[in-house]
Amino acid sequence: MFHWLEKNPFFFTVGVFLVIAYAGIVTILPDFMESARPLKGTKPYTALQIAGRQVYIANGCNTCHSQLIRPFKSETDRYGKYSLSGEYAYDRPFLWGSRRIGPDLHRVGNYRTTDWHENHMLNPAAVVPGSIMPKYGFMFKKDIDFKTAYAEAKTVQKVFDVPYDKPGMPKLGTYDEAKKAAYKDAGKIVANMKNQEIKDAYKNGNIREIVALIAYLNGLK
């Protein structure tokens, strides 16, 4: 009864496919809808935060920093309340990471400030002696790509129904509106920074990568 399997490449291929596909269907599909639900009070990222998140991703911060606090006392003591599924509802992609070469960042906004990040990103070892984190001086010189950040926000709003512009949710609006709002948000961060170059750039209407990144990190709570 099994001989056909060994001789007929077509049936064999179909057989293998069924066997390997089954696990994915059973494990991933059933809870798909439930896992996609946001927690009450969880809000999508502002356009400036998305720009910061893109900087975070482009530089592979997630290769060394996790964003997932596991339900152990040793972790909640160190990083804060353990993570809940609904908190990630607007995370595309998820950034849990797989290796903690540096500490977890899921709630870093609760215990680090703008000026701490400013000093730390410029020279980590000066703030945390012994740190092996690279220096990120170039983020103080490069401008963000706000168009791509806005494009991402607009896309998730259109395609995945992310509730921008809904009552109690962040405003997105048109590109010009969003840009104005992002400039205003960035101003609050820049006001807490010391670097003169950043301030000058801001006055000229430019938002540096570091500003957006800090906006994103401060929002992780």
Total residues contacting another protein (rule CB under 8 A)?
88
Helix (H, G, I), strand (E, B) or coil at 108: helix
29 versus 204: smaller Cβ distance to another protein: 29
Residues 141-200 that bind another protein (CB under 8 A): 142, 145, 147-152, 154-156, 158-160, 175
Residues 19-58 that bind another protein (CB under 8 A): 19-24, 26-28, 30-32, 34-36, 57-58
Residues 74-93 that bind another protein (CB under 8 A): 74-75, 77-78, 83-85, 87-93
Near another protein by CB under 8 A: residue from 4, 11, 13, 200: 13
Measured between alpha carbons, how far is residue 54 from residues 34, 61, 139, 160 in Å?
27, 10, 12, 19
Does 135 interact with another protein (rule: CB under 8 A)? yes
Do residues 164 and 170 make contact, with C-beta atoms less than 8 angstroms apart? yes
130 versus 205: smaller Cβ distance to another protein: 130
176 versus 203: smaller Cβ distance to another protein: 176
Does 111 interact with another protein (rule: CB under 8 A)? no
Asked if the peptide bond before residue 93 counts as cis, ω within 30 degrees of 0, the response is yes
156 versus 198: smaller Cβ distance to another protein: 156
**Cα 29 from Cα 44, distance rounded (Å):** 24
For the bound state, the minimum distance from the C-beta of residue 48 to another protein, rounded and expressed in Å, comes to: 15
User: Which residues share a beta bridge with 208?
Assistant: 143
| Number of C-beta neighbours around residue 216 at 10 A | 24
Near another protein by CB under 8 A: residue from 4, 111, 125, 188: 125
Measured between alpha carbons, how far is residue 118 from residues 60, 64, 99, 106, 214 in Å?
18, 19, 24, 19, 8
For the bound state, the minimum distance from the C-beta of residue 191 to another protein, rounded and expressed in Å, comes to: 26
Angle at which helix 175-191 crosses helix 146-160, to 10 degrees, equals 120
103 versus 187: smaller Cβ distance to another protein: 103
